[in-house]
């Protein structure tokens, strides 16, 4: 039997989560609902986008507006698309120039070695947008020296390539990764028009230096860029049509930090500074119509104390943060009529306590966010995990979340069409969840129930007299509740099997104060995935099941509710190592060639077949 090349194997360590608490902790001791996608699954499955892996996780709905590379929205536990907080290598990555939403259509999986999802409100730890949950995408942490290159091509004119390298030695850890994809795509409108393709380029890097035995100085950064072609709305009929729309999007950030000590030390802390910038340009038939740009500067200080008192192993974490954002909008279509320049800033103070006593683990966090443009907010989170014996655990938690109004919600303006509302207040959510878990050797299973309520939801308004749109805080409450079932079997790293299913009820009040179903949230969803190796063969396969859900047809007046059918999306990858370092592979996506839609009026691609070569180097 040939050994796997080091670049193709993830280290066998106990999974550590970094977003379920402000203190990194083993996944097995966290009361939070956590899902992890590790390096082995990413490399064996070969899916091109991070969002492809999110489809396989509980209560996570992914909506792609057409073929791969099109606008991609992720909704966790029925929350809105901008209620997901995204971190990339420890940097807050939601785009302030695009409605505070994560840009998942730009997030190439080839620069990721780990994906972490924490479900439920987490604003007491991380602030705004953490209502549905938090997603952390991390690259290679450079624990050893290695490298790899990969090239792939196939259906729809798809080409894909990546390269990565890491170094560990002499007190220095460094890692770099670059990746690119492109495809001529398919027509998203009716299948007979122009091709709606995409291209993207990604970069990530990390450098850490042990300046002293207990002092680390580091820097990390990422850059995402992409062009996406899509079918928009006719400027003549204002109806959805086979147009020549395209967008050019860029998002990049850098972060520097100095940390002293480790979490297990009596005292430790980290000071950091990050800068994020974004640019989004929209064009029609290659002529620019509008653009938005933004910049976010964040400075933070975190202090940690570890001690034992009254027989309880305890951690106290305190953090202060200051953030400043700038937003610019420019247009050509209205002769500059919608141009604007806005700024905002906010400060926050966070405190968290964690304690372990015998078979109990508790956690309490509170955060105060002070905004200069709208009402301040205080959020709380509390959780408890009880180990009942024989591998059985019970957990319960309460969490609150907020989402600040976007620049567009507050100040957006399009002549004769849309006027923002500067009196908006943040959206507020609170939720409870309880879980029963079992871990027995190579088996694990979990059953979780949750309930969340959202108030002051920011909704669109329309005046049928003036035909002007706007925004306001809704007076009712949106309701989200559901059940999640998970199971896994991992006899070794050479074979792993995972399955999950989720049930969701997501409703919001209409103008008559009656609860109606929220769009693009399937009532039922689930997934099965496996990965492993046998001799020279490596494999990864997945089946995502998406139930029927509603959407809105804006080509009708008034807009009408429509239903999107259920579907099963299957993918698989097989690799054959012709030497310990070289692997040939083939991959199929949408293997059943299903004709489905995540968004009404937008057609995704059919079955695609790809093949390629991966070379791993290192020790």
* Statement: 6-618 belongs to CATH 3.30.470.160: no
CA 424 from chain center: how many Å?
26
Look up residue 311 and give its two tokens.
């027989």
The pLDDT tens digits for 350-381 are 999 999 999 999 999 999 999 998 889 999 99
619 pLDDT band, cuts 50/70/90, is: low
The pLDDT tens digits for 326-339 are 999 999 878 888 89
Which region holds residue 190: left if phi is over 0, alpha if psi is between -120 and 50, else beta? alpha
Which region holds residue 156: left if phi is over 0, alpha if psi is between -120 and 50, else beta? left
Q: How many CA atoms lie within 13 A of 21 on its CB side?
A: 28
**Nearest-angstrom CA–CA distance, 83 and 454:** 11
Provide the 3-class DSSP secondary structure of residue 8. Answer: helix
The pLDDT tens digits for 495-537 are 999 999 999 999 999 877 788 999 999 999 999 999 999 999 9
Which uninterrupted H or E stretch holds 409?
Answer: helix 407-411
**Nearest-angstrom CA–CA distance, 619 and 168:** 11
| Cβ atoms of 116 and 98 closer than 8 Å | no
What order do you get walking across the sheet with 91-92 strand by strand?
33-37, 114-119, 133-138, 84-88, 91-92
The pLDDT tens digits for 116-133 are 999 999 999 999 999 999
The pLDDT tens digits for 258-296 are 999 988 899 999 999 999 999 999 999 999 999 999 999
The pLDDT tens digits for 206-227 are 999 999 999 999 999 999 999 9
pLDDT at 3 over 50: no
**Nearest-angstrom CA–CA distance, 24 and 136:** 13
pLDDT at 192 over 90: no
pLDDT at 6 over 80: no
Burial class of residue 83, CB neighbours in 10 A (0-12, 13-18, 19+): buried
Work out the percent of the chain whose per-residue pLDDT is above 90.
Answer: 83
| Cβ atoms of 518 and 508 closer than 8 Å | yes
Higher pLDDT, 141 or 611: 611
Which region holds residue 359: left if phi is over 0, alpha if psi is between -120 and 50, else beta? alpha
Provide the 3-class DSSP secondary structure of residue 238. Answer: coil
Residue-level pLDDT at 4: 39
Residue-level pLDDT at 9: 37
Residue-level pLDDT at 14: 60
pLDDT at 306 over 90: yes
> Taking the chain, what is the end-to-end CA distance rounded to the nearest angstrom?
18
Residues 6 or more apart from 61 whose CB is under 8 A from it? Answer: 74, 75, 76, 78, 520, 521, 522, 525, 546, 549
Q: What are the backbone angles phi and psi of residue 608, rounded to the nearest 5°?
A: -130, 145
pLDDT at 20 over 90: no
Residue-level pLDDT at 300: 97
User: How do beta strands 114-119 and 33-37 pair?
Assistant: antiparallel
Of 364, 274, 262, the closest CA to residue 321 belongs to 274
Q: pTM here?
A: 0.95
- Tell me the torsion sign for CA atoms 469, 471, 474, 477: positive
pLDDT at 256 over 80: yes
Q: What is the mean pLDDT of the chain?
A: 93
**Nearest-angstrom CA–CA distance, 436 and 432:** 14
**Nearest-angstrom CA–CA distance, 344 and 333:** 27
Q: Report the b/e string of 488-523 with b at 16+ CB within 10 A.
A: bebeeeeebebbbbbbbbbbbbeeeeeeeebbbbbb
The pLDDT tens digits for 92-119 are 999 999 999 999 999 999 999 999 999 9
Of 40-44, 238-242, 613-617, the range with the lowest mean pLDDT is: 238-242
The pLDDT tens digits for 385-441 are 999 999 999 999 999 999 999 999 999 888 888 999 999 999 999 999 999 999 998
């Amino acid at each position: 039997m040939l050994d796997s090349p080091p670049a193709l194997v993830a280290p066998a360590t106990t999974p550590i989560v970094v977003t379920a608490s402000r203190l990194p902790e083993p996944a097995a001791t966290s009361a939070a609902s956590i899902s992890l996608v590790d390096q082995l699954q990413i490399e064996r499955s070969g899916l091109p986008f991070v969002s492809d892996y999110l489809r396989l996780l509980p209560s996570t709905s992914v909506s792609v507006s057409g073929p791969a590379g099109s606008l991609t929205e992720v909704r966790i536990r029925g929350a809105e698309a901008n209620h997901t907080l995204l971190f990339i290598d420890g940097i807050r990555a939601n785009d302030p120039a695009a409605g505070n939403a994560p840009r998942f259509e730009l997030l190439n999986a080839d620069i990721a070695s780990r994906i972490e999802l924490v479900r439920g409100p987490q604003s007491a730890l991380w602030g705004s947008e953490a209502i549905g949950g938090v997603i952390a995408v991390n690259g290679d942490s450079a624990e050893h020296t290695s490298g790899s290159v990969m090239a792939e091509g196939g259906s729809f004119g798809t080409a894909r390539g990546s390269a990565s390298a890491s170094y560990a030695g002499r007190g220095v850890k460094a890692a770099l990764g670059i990746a690119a994809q492109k495809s001529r795509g398919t027509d998203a409108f009716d299948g007979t028009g122009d091709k709606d393709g995409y291209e993207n380029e990604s970069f990530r890097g990390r450098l850490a230096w042990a300046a002293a035995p207990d002092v680390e100085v580091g820097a990390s950064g990422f850059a995402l860029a992409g062009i996406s072609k899509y079918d928009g709305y006719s400027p003549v009929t204002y109806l959805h049509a086979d147009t020549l729309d395209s967008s050019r999007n860029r998002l990049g950030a850098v972060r520097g930090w100095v940390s002293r000590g480790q979490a297990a030390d009596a005292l430790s802390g980290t000071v950091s500074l990050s800068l994020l910038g974004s640019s989004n340009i929209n064009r029609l038939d290659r002529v620019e119509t509008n653009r938005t740009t933004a910049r976010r500067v964040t400075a933070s200080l975190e202090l940690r104390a570890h001690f034992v008192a009254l027989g309880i192993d305890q951690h106290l974490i305190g953090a202060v943060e200051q953030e400043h954002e700038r937003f610019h909008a420019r247009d050509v279509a209205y002769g500059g009529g919608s141009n604007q320049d806005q700024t905002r800033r906010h400060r926050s103070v966070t405190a968290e306590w964690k304690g372990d006593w015998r078979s109990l683990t508790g956690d309490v966090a509170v955060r105060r966010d002070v905004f200069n443009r709208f009402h301040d907010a205080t959020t709380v989170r509390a959780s408890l995990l009880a180990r009942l014996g024989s591998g059985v655990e019970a957990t319960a938690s309460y969490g609150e979340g907020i989402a600040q109004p976007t620049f567009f919600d507050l100040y957006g303006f399009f002549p004769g069409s849309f006027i923002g509302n500067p009196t908006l207040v943040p959206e507020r959510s609170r939720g409870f969840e309880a879980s029963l878990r079992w871990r027995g050797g190579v088996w694990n299973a979990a059953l979780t129930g949750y309930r969340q309520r959202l108030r002051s939801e920011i909704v669109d308004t329309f005046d049928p007299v003036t035909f002007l749109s706007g925004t306001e805080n809704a007076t009712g409450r949106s309701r989200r509740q559901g059940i999640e079932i998970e199971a896994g079997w991992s006899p070794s790293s050479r074979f792993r099997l995972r399955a999950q299913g989720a049930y969701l009820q997501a409703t919001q009040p209409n103008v008559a104060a009656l609860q109606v179903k929220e769009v693009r949230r399937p009532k039922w969803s689930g997934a099965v995935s496996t990965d492993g190796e046998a001799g020279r063969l490596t494999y990864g396969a997945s089946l995502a099941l998406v139930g029927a859900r509603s959407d809105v047809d804006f080509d009708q007046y008034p807009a009408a509710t429509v239903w999107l059918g259920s579907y099963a999306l299957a993918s698989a990858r097989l690799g054959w190592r012709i030497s310990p370092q070289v692997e040939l592979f083939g991959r199929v996506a949408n293997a059943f060639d299903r004709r489905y839609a995540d968004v009404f009026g937008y057609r995704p691609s059919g079955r695609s077949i790809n093949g390629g070569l991966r070379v791993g180097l290192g020790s």
